[in-house]
């Protein structure tokens, strides 16, 4: 299936153009937030509220939560970026998330504690449902095809992408909006600090490949328009999505992208790398989150479309692996995006240059 458009909102701003700028500029210091019940401030790759203040698109979503607004904006931008007139009756939507609207869920629980079950806000309750975000997308964009939310800790984006492929193969849809959305609320910041130990300098170090390399929490949303259509402006082709079945095609890739971000033991990534294939990781641009694969895939798709490689934002390299350490034009045909879970199981997405 072909990747026709990308919409993204992350700590660096909104839009694929802003994401490309971030890839060129490299690492930027994230903002700091208070950690609840702890007298300290720690860095978070948080989405600026000004970047989700779209009064036209969100005019009917005044009471929606941050997760839903990010998802709607990214999905809308993906359609615009594709330049394709989609059939809204034949377009599916798949949103993948690790934690869903967890901040809204905790707000709802706080309401019960403070005001009792009879006085709790019905709006907060409805927004706390994981499928609320995808419902907002269908309403805001007037899309009437099938819509689904995939919620899991292990490979949520890869699972959603595989499901989108099935929908296209079965002829259920002509195109699918498939993407991710996750936020970093107060409780998440507290858990990151207490269980994982946030990197106080705000730097994710993806090439330390250590069981204890500290993460930095992030949030955001990425959506892709995928279809069998193959217009000239397509970013790339998604060749394969494989789970725990090796690392994709037999031929060597031009670049390997890894999801290493400090949230799990990183030693598995080191074993997967080849000394002949340069490797990149862009988690220092958007932070540590379980849906980070989608952000890396957006970078891979950009590199194939532009035929340009982007240097990793943090290049600390204690294991002397072959890094993409310079931004320059490059002939790129195949990129593997590699992810691992806590059980050292793998998921690989293969991105290949489109052939007209």
At 203-235, the pLDDT tens digits run 999 999 988 889 999 999 999 999 998 778 899
Q: Are strands 41-44 and 31-34 parallel, antiparallel or unpaired?
A: antiparallel
Kindly write down the DSSP assignment for every residue of 249-264, as one continuous string.
-SSPPSEEEE---SSS
Can you give the pLDDT at residue 102?
A: 76
Measuring CA to CA, how many Å separate 277 from each of 241, 255, 332, 335?
A: 20, 6, 12, 10
With bands split at pLDDT 50, 70 and 90, how would you rate the model's confidence at 324? Answer: very high
CA 147 – CA 134 distance, rounded (Å): 7
162 vs 60 pLDDT, higher one: 162
CB 296, CB 282: distance < 8 Å: yes
Measuring CA to CA, how many Å separate 142 from each of 47, 57, 89, 91, 311?
A: 25, 11, 9, 10, 39
CA 29 – CA 4 distance, rounded (Å): 31
pLDDT tens digits along 43-61 = 999 999 889 988 888 877 8
Q: Is residue 113's pLDDT more than 60?
A: yes
CA nearest to 18, candidates 48, 43, 41, 55:
48
State the average pLDDT for the chain. Answer: 90
Q: Is residue 356's pLDDT more than 70?
A: no
With bands split at pLDDT 50, 70 and 90, how would you rate the model's confidence at 308? Answer: very high
> Cα dihedral angle (272, 274, 275, 277), rounded to 10 degrees?
-120
Can you give the pLDDT at residue 201?
A: 93
Can you give the pLDDT at residue 211?
A: 83
Can you give the pLDDT at residue 251?
A: 67
Mean per-residue pLDDT for 127-136?
83
Kindly write down the DSSP assignment for every residue of 2-32, as one continuous string.
EEEEEEEEETTEESHHHHHHHHHH---PPEE
CA 64 – CA 49 distance, rounded (Å): 13
Q: Is residue 197's pLDDT more than 60?
A: yes
Mean per-residue pLDDT for 132-145?
92
User: Which one is the CATH code of 2-352: 3.50.50.60, 3.20.20.370, 3.40.47.10, 3.40.50.1400?
Assistant: 3.40.47.10
Can you give the pLDDT at residue 57?
A: 83
Can you give the pLDDT at residue 55?
A: 80
Can you give the pLDDT at residue 246?
A: 62
Can you give the pLDDT at residue 129?
A: 77
Domain segments of the chain as ranges? 2-352
**Share above pLDDT 90 across residues of the chain, in percent, rounded to a whole number:** 64
CA 9 – CA 141 distance, rounded (Å): 17
The H or E element that residue 270 is part of is helix 267-272
DSSP secondary structure code for residue 218 in this structure: B
Stated pTM of the model: 0.93
pLDDT tens digits along 251-302 = 689 999 999 999 888 888 988 898 999 999 999 999 999 999 999 999 999 9
Q: Mean pLDDT lowest for which of 16-25, 104-113, 155-164, 168-177?
A: 104-113
Q: Is residue 250's pLDDT more than 60?
A: no
With bands split at pLDDT 50, 70 and 90, how would you rate the model's confidence at 188? Answer: confident
């Amino acid at each position: 299936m072909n990747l026709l458009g990308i919409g993204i909102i992350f700590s660096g701003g909104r839009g694929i153009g802003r994401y490309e700028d971030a890839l060129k500029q490299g690492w930027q210091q994230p903002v700091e937030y208070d950690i609840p019940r702890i007298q300290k401030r720690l860095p978070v790759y948080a989405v600026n509220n000004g970047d989700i203040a779209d009064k036209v698109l969100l005019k009917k979503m005044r009471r929606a939560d941050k997760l839903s607004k990010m998802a709607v904006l990214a999905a809308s931008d993906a359609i615009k970026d594709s330049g394709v007139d989609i059939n809204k009756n034949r377009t599916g939507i798949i949103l993948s998330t690790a934690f869903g609207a967890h901040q809204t869920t905790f707000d709802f629980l706080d309401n019960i504690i403070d005001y009792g079950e009879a006085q709790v806000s019905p709006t907060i309750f409805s927004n706390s449902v994981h499928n609320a975000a995808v419902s907002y997308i269908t309403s805001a964009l007037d899309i009437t095809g099938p819509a689904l939310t995939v919620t899991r800790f292990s490979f949520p984006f890869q699972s959603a992408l595989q499901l989108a492929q099935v929908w296209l193969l079965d002829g259920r849809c002509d195109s699918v909006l498939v993407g991710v959305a996750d936020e970093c609320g107060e409780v998440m910041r507290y858990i990151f600090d207490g269980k994982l130990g946030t990197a106080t300098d705000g730097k994710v170090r993806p090439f330390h490949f250590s069981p204890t390399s500290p993460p930095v929490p992030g949030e955001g949303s990425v959506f892709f328009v995928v279809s069998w259509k193959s217009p000239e402006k397509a970013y790339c082709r998604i060749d394969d999505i494989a789970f725990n079945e090796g690392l994709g095609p037999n031929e060597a890739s031009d670049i390997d992208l890894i999801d290493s971000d400090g949230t799990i033991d990183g030693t598995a990534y080191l074993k997967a790398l080849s000394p002949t294939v340069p490797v990149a990781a862009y988690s220092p641009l958007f932070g540590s989150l379980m849906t980070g694969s989608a952000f890396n895939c957006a970078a891979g798709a950009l590199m194939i479309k532009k035929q340009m490689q982007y240097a990793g934002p943090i290049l600390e390299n204690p294991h002397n692996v072959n890094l993409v350490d310079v931004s320059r034009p490059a002939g790129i045909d195949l990129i593997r995006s590699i992810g691992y879970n806590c059980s050292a199981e793998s998921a690989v997405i293969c991105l290949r240059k489109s052939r007209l």
